[in-house]
Structure 1
């Protein structure tokens, strides 16, 4: 399927996700399931609706899972992120935090949260901190994209931009084809950005590839302004997340950021079905 990079196609029906009612009650969410320290209503406009979709498959060890969470908590409470909020016409964004693995393994960890300042950001970070770490089998980037798109389309929020932020350390090996899922949500006006985690040496017996950044550029991300920021060392992780969030919230490119890469508009340089083929060759199903 050709890569869709615009906003032209008609919207397709989205799978309706469960919006984390029990989690919302436990966190003391406001009516409608939205955590909002500023008393905002769901129908009030925001600059960006952003889903942070985070890989918790078994290829991620516990240290990496903790590093990933800590990176998002630090980024959302950073001065750079809080300053970026002020650049939008509404000065406010809505963010949800999702953990994903296999095709039926997506979990809404923190429901939609309105963030307009430090107090909101701290509440969002604490909600991430309080959730127990989990690891689940398989990797379905396509499932994460579809689930996240459903969260955006069913939330009742009016965002000027709609973005899914996928972070992960492997290729799609379960569920719909990843480029097809990407193209479908891009056609509905949602941008997909990526944070490929390349923290480990590629092992021949594992389901890893050495060009995960290229795979993300060609097969995962799409939409207006889509980009990836590869992470090759744990020391890069917190800054990469912070840079990515600032870009997504404000649309402003920070100086001296050579690792920011746009979506590849040409034919894929790496097969978008490489993950499925590697899984079949190893497991036969």
Structure 2
């Protein structure tokens, strides 16, 4: 082999190494972009004693339908390089917080359909009849602390009654305790004419209670479902608001 052949071999090998290095940089860059999390959304469902078997199913089926609706699906998948992560849990008494769907990164429509199918197939377990809303908030915050790298973190609490055991919600939702997490609510108001057992809690009373004791963080809001039959509509509306566009400038960070 003469010196010219050796020279070209060295040039070729050097070029190959440069291309390989560049490929690794691109791969790392893509991996970093794909690892970005636009929003972590923890959904807490009330399964306390005021929620009967039919209402339990209406809540689960309503959430599953809302998550798989075209508008919500489109919103969740709108930024593929910065996906949304979802976790769903149910709560009642102080010692009952059950994860139905663990943290799931929603990368495509199939993932979302699978998640909805899990919810539709979930079976109810025995749970305390009490309503530990404050403890549910603490559990939701703990779950969201597992996703500290997400640009936005939201706890979404559904409920049809006031806290009656454990810490009060307004004692555990303070900014110095929850950081940048936002707590929203889906209030399930019940028509007193159809369910007299709920007559003591009007929708207006519940809305005021959640506004003063539960909501926390910038832009926190509540959505009202008029009974469990209205849960799907209210949940869809709330999810679309929670998933509102985040500035594209964050993709450049």
Same-fold status (TM-score > 0.5): yes
Which one of 241, 245, 249 corresponds to residue 239 of structure 2?
245
> Is 1:181 the equivalent of 2:172?
yes
Where in structure 1 do 4 or more consecutive aligned residues deviate above 4 Å? 86-89, 184-187, 202-208
**Could you tell me the TM-score, scaled by structure 1's length?**
0.67
Instruction: Judging by fraction of residues, say which structure has more helix.
Output: 2
> 2:74 matched to which residue of 1?
83
> Is 1:103 the equivalent of 2:94?
yes
- 122-131 or 219-228, larger mean C-alpha shift: 122-131
Report if the CA contact (8 A) 2:41-2:155 is conserved.
Answer: yes
Report if the CA contact (8 A) 1:165-1:192 is conserved.
Answer: yes
> 1:35 matched to which residue of 2?
none
Counterpart-to-counterpart distance in 1, 2:169 and 2:95: 15
Residue-pair matches, total: 211
The alpha-carbon deviation at position 244 of structure 1 amounts to 0.8
**Could you tell me the TM-score, scaled by structure 2's length?**
0.76
> Is 1:56 the equivalent of 2:47?
yes
Which one of 119, 122, 125 corresponds to residue 116 of structure 2?
125
When residues 193 and 140 of structure 1 are mapped into structure 2, their CA distance, relative to the original with a 3 A threshold, is: same
Structure 2 gaps of 5+ residues are 1-30, 247-253
Structure with the greater relative contact order (CA < 8 A, sep ≥ 6): 1 or 2? 1
The alpha-carbon deviation at position 184 of structure 1 amounts to 4.8
The alpha-carbon deviation at position 125 of structure 1 amounts to 0.8
> 1:8 matched to which residue of 2?
none
> Is 1:74 the equivalent of 2:65?
yes
> 2:219 matched to which residue of 1?
225
Which one of 98, 108, 114 corresponds to residue 105 of structure 2?
114
- Whichever of the two has the greater Rg, that structure is 2
RMSD: 2.6
> 1:154 matched to which residue of 2?
146
> 2:159 matched to which residue of 1?
168
Report if the CA contact (8 A) 2:46-2:92 is conserved.
Answer: yes
Counterpart-to-counterpart distance in 1, 2:176 and 2:71: 29
Give 3-state SS (helix, strand or coil) of 2:212's partner.
helix
Counterpart-to-counterpart distance in 1, 2:76 and 2:150: 14
